Structure 1
Amino acid sequence: MHTETKQSGSQSEAPLSSAQASGVSANIAATAPGQLRVIKRNGTVVPFEASKITVAITKAFLAVEGGNAAASSRIHETVAKLTEQVSSTFKRRMPSGGTIHIEDIQDQVELSLMRSGEHKIARDYVIYREEQARKRADKQALSPATAQAAEAITVVQPDGSRAALDIERLHTIVSEACSDLDDVSETLILDEALRNLYDGVTLAELSTSLVITARTLIEKEPNYSYVAARLLCDNLRAEALGFLKVADKPTQADMHHLYAQALPAYIARGVELELLSPELQSFDLARLGEALLPERDLQFTYLGLQTLYDRYFIHSNEVRIELPQIFFMRVAMGLAIEEDDKNARAIEFYQLLSSFDYMSSTPTLFNAGTLRPQLSSCYLTTVPDDLHGIYGAIQDNAMLSKFAGGLGNDWTPVRALGAYIKGTNGKSQGVVPFLKVVNDTAVAVNQGGKRKGAVCAYLETWHLDIEEFVELRKNTGDDRRRTHDMNTANWIPDLFMKRVFDDGEWTLFSPHDVPDLHDLYGKAFEERYTYYEEQARAGKIKLHKTMRAQNLWRKMLGMLFETGHPWMTFKDPCNLRSPQQHVGVVHSSNLCTEITLNTSQDEIAVCNLGSINLPQHIDENGLNLDKLQQTVSTAVRMLDNVIDINYYSVETAQNSNFKHRPVGLGLMGFQDALYKQHIAYGSEEAVNFADRSMEAISYYAIDASSQLAAERGAYSSYEGSLWSQGIFPIDSLDLLEQERGADYIKVDKSQTLDWPALRELVKARGMRNSNVMAIAPTATIANITGVSQSIEPTYQNLYVKSNLSGEFTVVNPYLVKDLKARGLWDGVMVNDLKYYDGSVQQIDRVPEDLKAIYSTAFEVEPRWLVDAASRRQKWIDQAQSLNLYINNASGKKLDITYRMAWYSGLKTTYYLRSLAATGTEKSTISTGNLNAVSSGEQMGGPAPVPDACSLDDPDCEACQ
């Protein structure tokens, strides 16, 4: 059988619609001199490539004559001659370039075969073309009943007028939506959508019907997620281009020329509406418009595009004025605005973002290129021990949250309950009443109306209020001393963990009696803490409490089990491995526990985040290091630019960011990267991949920051840092081991890259950024790019995800692909997955090797999560958001897991989860109601899942 002569595309391409045909002249006009382009059947315009003609003609010859050696030479020479004839024909016809339809190329191939005497092959080629045309027609045909019903439908237009249902356009957009996708049916979508329509349906309802129809098919075939996204994109095109007065009812094919027209119209309108910075008008918009790649609209899943539509695209009176590629270009322009060659850099940044190889964090995507470009993700503050300072810190929280920043507050300096207050000759109420105010402020100031305000309070384990602090999220007790909407975290010194291991005693103090403990760590902390314990025993410190360390540890674990809080984070590794320990102290982490930066009353730490899409860098040979290096180099430059462009609502944050210039380059899609390599998460192979992939990211990120230092200068506090001493993150493990003691830590120190050479380069060039790496949760940007979030194992292989954009059926496409390859994907398998809450472990016909690869989060032993995190942590100068999943959790399991986390050198952990928070209701098996959500048990009690963007949801979206 032959292969059709094609210029990239599938055999299911539809005939050109009238709307598409109307754009051909514009395509020709837009074509560069001498350049030929090809219109595919779905209207997409691609460059002319003679090599594709060669391949197609060769396959035609092989199908008739076979591939024996005798025929090979003749075929090669004949094909080369025919290809040249076909190519020359079109070059003669269009010496200045132009646009050719795919059918014209196939006609010319057929004619050349006849003229050259290859009649048998030409005849076979004609028969094949007719057969393919028949298949396309059959695929696009409506059932007779549906076609008859469609003729009676009129559609109410936005102006109130009525028009006959445009079946031709429906065919076109559904054909575009299904193009190049396997196992999807245009006919099924059209039949099902039209069956639910009625005379007088609105245009919006018609569009919604198509999208919903594709949505309902996702659980049976994941590719319908792309179909639904493309149908949604049709709605978006009409909305945005209509508002901008660029086009009416455009198709995806039209975007080849319309994107270039839309960009300057969008910038002008956005500036006029005071939504965009006027500085964007200084770019070469014609050049940037030509750089837009409309085919990248096709790579979105439905969840990804719907999330952008609902929460990211700039709108005016709820009308979206951005399109996907314009959105990415707006962000790229916003990040390139201070570059010397800002047009070239904007195109470079755009290409990286729109490829999904890397994605900036949510605040950057929200605000780049706007009047207030608050692009930073995280803010860390230290709260002083005086009333003016406390309320000043709460005001800072409000201002930072207003512009979409996630917050981490260090409350350790604030004196404890019962401590003496000299100014009033009274006693303090402690930390807890102020935290209630912080909680309510986070609720009131909701990140610009785009997502909930989010804050995490940190308290060191020796603070006298620690026992009440760990109970803040309880559902019982005095509600005035509870914080149901904010997060809490323990900031744990190594000495406490040693006392737990050794079953020693632990003493609690008020910080006003032991003020220097806040700034001490390592051996210095141990010496001073021991001194204060002696003072307390001698009666010189009256306000204190002594208890078994294990009793407090059990209470911390018990509250973590019951409420999910406070999280476990470790003070000493955060400080002993910090590159910036020469100029300050890390007093807390951030909202999501991946940032470890110095804070004080004079400095609010700021971090700027973005994440590499790891599976995009996996090929048939594993991790593509060359591509990874290119991605990291551009990503670090984009992150560094954020620091100078960023809008700072608090001056102390600006001073800190300019002085130290920290960034946090992370990753997402770790689970997808394992799937692409057929590696089980719970395996040594996965742990080794975590090690090697993070080593490469670390190496290239440090190199990229150092290259920027050579170009732009080192950050101002570089001298004296660990970087300046040639001590990299991998080397700082030795510092931690020396201070903690070798008996209390075990970390693999293997390495594979040329680190000595990089140390010499950094020594010569310096570093542009005090900190370079941090792995954030990436929940929302992972949704946008269609991969698993961060370093998480798969939550379930089939489930319903709820967020601010609604409910979405999520099915594991890798599992479906593997089951299809073995003939196991069918309706029964879907039913079984729903019954077993997305697990394959109890489905007998699933092979054992697939059961291992597709184990879900609660089916992976926690030790594998900790081991992989430990291997990553050795390369990271900050930390990582590490959720721990424990099935059938018990006190013993929690004790072992968290001791292991500390013993393995981790800096922080994030949420503890026991059972899934949402699931597909088993009642849907018989009823077919796909998007029902049932409340499930999770750590924190049997309460139903809170609302869509709750921080207690497994897909937390508060900071990314």
Structure 2
Amino acid sequence: FERVATNIAAADAKFESSGDVDRTTRKFLRLLSNRLFLPNSPTLMNAGQRLGQLAACFVLPIEDSMESIFEPLKHTAVIHKSGGGTGFSFSKIRPQNDVVLSTAGISSGPISFMSVFDTATETVKQGGTRRGANMGLLRVDHPDIEAFIESKNDLEKLNNFNISVALTRGFMGALEKGSQYDLINPRTSNTKGSISARKIFDKIVFSAWQSGEPGVVFIDRINEKNPTPHLGNIEATNPCGEQPLLPYESCTLGSIDLSKMVDKNSINLSRLKKTIHDAVHFLDNVIEINNYPLRRIEEMSKGTRKIGLGVMGFADMLIKMGIPYDSEKAVVQAEKIMSFISHESRKASANLAKKRGNFPFYKGSIFDNDSTPYMRNATTTTIAPTGTISIIADTSGGIEPIFAVAHQRHVLDGKTLYETHPLFVKLAKEAGFYNKALAGEIVKTGSIQSIDTIPDHIKKCFRTSHDIAPEWHIRIQSTFQKYTDNAVSKTVNFPADATPEQVKKVYRLAYETGCKGVT
């Protein structure tokens, strides 16, 4: 933490006197060592190291030519080697069997090129600091959409990709009416036939039910919220879908541990406010100090200065407050907390802009008006999955429910250890029903809902992701989305006996409640 705090605080020297750098180092060290806030893994791993690449998320553009496909492939390898993840839209590549004028041959289509990126990722990840990951998107009006939807049904293929279909407002309108919609050849912009929206939606749903993919991204909604529309349209997101970005943009993420904001069953708003302001300062410094893998990425990233402050420990926070995850009270807390983080992070960004200047692409942005004369960052909030950093913080991941109340961990000498949620152990001991045999019983399923010896009020607070109805997952996601500049990474868990109809309901509910996507 000392290495990270010292390295990130050094950016202050560009804007303040040297005395302030020491003060900032102490401030950042306090923030990190108390684990009130942690930045994304590349920042923790690479700050103050030779590599110095600190961003987690990148989007690279892919056009319809060999040069514009294989140039990003090279850039992808460089990004993955440095610990970043990449997103691409393959929507501009001409469809399979379309004409290739230069060779008088036929095109192999976008999915064949996705396989090339997949193989490259597999090769790079074996020597990298952490596994490379990709997001592949295809617009729903691309002629190869059916093949794309089913591209991961073979579990041996595209294992280094998450895939999502970019659903348009036109498609959702056709789905509502039960009508056809047009498929467009990206090479010519001409219609290449039409197809039933319900047929395609059912295919998406069935494939997701079968293999968990594709997810869906509501691409027009994302662009309606694009803070810099004068720079172009957003076409893709990072691998987990929470960070829509323009071509060559990167974003640095970080998350506040909400479980550490609870005092006596309520949120300590003054502690949360200070943490937000310190975290925005930290993330803005990361943009300055980052060693970018490409000059073009540096220009775009410093031009928009997007940061993504989010949360982790939401489920643990609710448990500490005695609130079930699948309850109206939890929705109220989500609204209260995220609206506060949104408001304060913008305020912190504006305060930084007064000292350091607005983000360079401010003119023409949604902030270019009298009500927001100062803004340092084009976005300030993102809800990430926090897989690695939530383990370091010893808290629940992102805004997800707890995954299990107890689970097994196999250690090196062949022993099996039971790890039980510390808040459950504490409450169980206080209530007088905790014993070691109980942990062994919980481990069988991870859930406590069918164990008779546990009081109901404790069962309600310790519902796991599989105990919670899919509709509640979406309620929580859409509430956080309402106050998040970028997007929200959230997994909707289904029981093994779920039907395609239940998946369909959730995908539609995500659209109706204002989510930007769902997996």
TM range (shorter): over 0.9
- Residues 580 and 598, structure 1, Cα contact 8 Å, conserved in 2: no
Asked if 1:335 is matched to 2:8, the reply is yes
Question: Partner of 2:419 in structure 1?
Answer: 810
**Equivalent position to 1:596, from 229, 239, 244:** 244
Please list, as runs of the form range in 1=range in 2, the aligned pairs for 1:450-849 lying within 5 A after superposition. Answer: 450-475=129-154, 482-514=157-189, 536=191, 544-599=192-247, 604-620=248-264, 622-725=266-369, 760=371, 762-763=372-373, 766-800=374-408, 809-835=418-444, 837-849=445-457
- Residues 442 and 486, structure 1, Cα contact 8 Å, conserved in 2: no
Q: Are residues 809 and 437 of structure 1, via their aligned partners in 2, closer, same or farther at CA, if it must alter by over 3 Å? A: farther
Q: CA deviation at 1:488?
A: 1.2
Q: Deviations over 1:217-254 (max 9, x none)?
A: xxxxxxxxxxxxxxxxxxxxxxxxxxxxxxxxxxxxxx
Question: Partner of 1:384 in structure 2?
Answer: 63
Question: Partner of 1:857 in structure 2?
Answer: 465
Whole-angstrom distance in 1 between the partners of 2:76 and 2:430: 53
Q: Deviations over 1:421-444 (max 9, x none)?
A: 111122211111111110011111
Q: CA deviation at 1:717?
A: 1.2
SS at match of 1:841: coil
Whole-angstrom distance in 2 between the partners of 1:798 and 1:545: 53
- Residues 403 and 448, structure 1, Cα contact 8 Å, conserved in 2: no
Whole-angstrom distance in 1 between the partners of 2:173 and 2:141: 14
- Residues 408 and 443, structure 2, Cα contact 8 Å, conserved in 1: no
Q: Deviations over 1:666-699 (max 9, x none)?
A: 1100001101100000000001111110011111
Whole-angstrom distance in 1 between the partners of 2:35 and 2:107: 52
Name which one, 1 or 2, has greater alpha-carbon Rg.
1
Q: CA deviation at 1:808?
A: 6.8
Q: Are residues 502 and 808 of structure 1, via their aligned partners in 2, closer, same or farther at CA, if it must alter by over 3 Å? A: farther
Q: Deviations over 1:775-826 (max 9, x none)?
A: 111011000010001001011111136899x997431122222222221111
- Residues 81 and 129, structure 2, Cα contact 8 Å, conserved in 1: no
SS at match of 1:858: coil
Whole-angstrom distance in 1 between the partners of 2:288 and 2:61: 24
The one-letter code of the counterpart of 2:235 is H
Asked if 1:909 is matched to 2:518, the reply is yes
Please list, as runs of the form range in 1=range in 2, the aligned pairs for 1:170-189 lying within 5 A after superposition. Answer: none
Whole-angstrom distance in 1 between the partners of 2:74 and 2:115: 14
**Equivalent position to 1:417, from 89, 96, 99:** 96
The one-letter code of the counterpart of 2:386 is T
**Equivalent position to 1:408, from 65, 87, 109:** 87
Question: Partner of 2:483 in structure 1?
Answer: 875
Q: CA deviation at 1:471?
A: 1.8
Whole-angstrom distance in 2 between the partners of 1:622 and 1:724: 37
Q: CA deviation at 1:447?
A: 8.0
Question: Partner of 2:77 in structure 1?
Answer: 398
SS at match of 2:194: strand
SS at match of 1:612: strand
The one-letter code of the counterpart of 2:355 is E
Q: Are residues 857 and 382 of structure 1, via their aligned partners in 2, closer, same or farther at CA, if it must alter by over 3 Å? A: same
Q: Are residues 590 and 812 of structure 1, via their aligned partners in 2, closer, same or farther at CA, if it must alter by over 3 Å? A: same
Between 1 and 2, higher relative CO (CA 8 Å, sep ≥ 6) is seen in 2
Question: Partner of 2:16 in structure 1?
Answer: none
- Residues 420 and 439, structure 2, Cα contact 8 Å, conserved in 1: no
Asked if 1:443 is matched to 2:52, the reply is no
- Residues 162 and 240, structure 2, Cα contact 8 Å, conserved in 1: no
Question: Partner of 2:501 in structure 1?
Answer: 892
Whole-angstrom distance in 1 between the partners of 2:321 and 2:484: 24
Question: Partner of 1:927 in structure 2?
Answer: none
SS at match of 2:458: helix
Q: CA deviation at 1:720?
A: 2.3
Moved over 6 A (4+): none
The one-letter code of the counterpart of 1:817 is K
Whole-angstrom distance in 2 between the partners of 1:375 and 1:627: 26
- Residues 82 and 128, structure 2, Cα contact 8 Å, conserved in 1: no
The one-letter code of the counterpart of 1:501 is E
Question: Partner of 1:31 in structure 2?
Answer: none
SS at match of 2:517: coil
Q: CA deviation at 1:714?
A: 0.2
Q: CA deviation at 1:581?
A: 1.7
Gap runs ≥5 in structure 2 = 14-19
SS at match of 1:497: helix
- Residues 97 and 108, structure 2, Cα contact 8 Å, conserved in 1: yes
Whole-angstrom distance in 2 between the partners of 1:363 and 1:800: 28
- Residues 132 and 160, structure 2, Cα contact 8 Å, conserved in 1: no
Question: Partner of 1:83 in structure 2?
Answer: none
Q: Are residues 572 and 678 of structure 1, via their aligned partners in 2, closer, same or farther at CA, if it must alter by over 3 Å? A: same
- Residues 223 and 233, structure 2, Cα contact 8 Å, conserved in 1: yes
SS at match of 1:846: coil
The one-letter code of the counterpart of 2:9 is A
The one-letter code of the counterpart of 2:229 is Q
Gap runs ≥5 in structure 1 = 1-327, 515-531, 537-543, 727-759, 911-960
Whole-angstrom distance in 2 between the partners of 1:817 and 1:667: 24
Q: Decide which moves more: 483-492 or 701-710.
A: 483-492
Whole-angstrom distance in 2 between the partners of 1:686 and 1:448: 43
The one-letter code of the counterpart of 1:498 is G
Q: CA deviation at 1:390?
A: 0.4
- Residues 418 and 439, structure 2, Cα contact 8 Å, conserved in 1: no
Whole-angstrom distance in 1 between the partners of 2:507 and 2:369: 33
Q: Deviations over 1:723-746 (max 9, x none)?
A: 2247xxxxxxxxxxxxxxxxxxxx
The one-letter code of the counterpart of 2:428 is L
Q: Deviations over 1:507-559 (max 9, x none)?
A: 32221121xxxxxxxxxxxxxxxxx6xxx4xxxxxxx2422111111111111
Question: Partner of 1:349 in structure 2?
Answer: 28
Whole-angstrom distance in 1 between the partners of 2:168 and 2:174: 10
Whole-angstrom distance in 1 between the partners of 2:474 and 2:143: 30
Q: CA deviation at 1:583?
A: 2.1
- Residues 447 and 453, structure 1, Cα contact 8 Å, conserved in 2: no
TM-score by length of 1: 0.52
Whole-angstrom distance in 1 between the partners of 2:483 and 2:160: 34
Percent identity reads 31
SS at match of 2:231: coil
SS at match of 1:546: strand
- Residues 461 and 490, structure 1, Cα contact 8 Å, conserved in 2: yes
- Residues 58 and 245, structure 2, Cα contact 8 Å, conserved in 1: no
Whole-angstrom distance in 2 between the partners of 1:809 and 1:359: 27
SS at match of 1:885: coil
Q: CA deviation at 1:621?
A: 5.3
SS at match of 2:86: strand
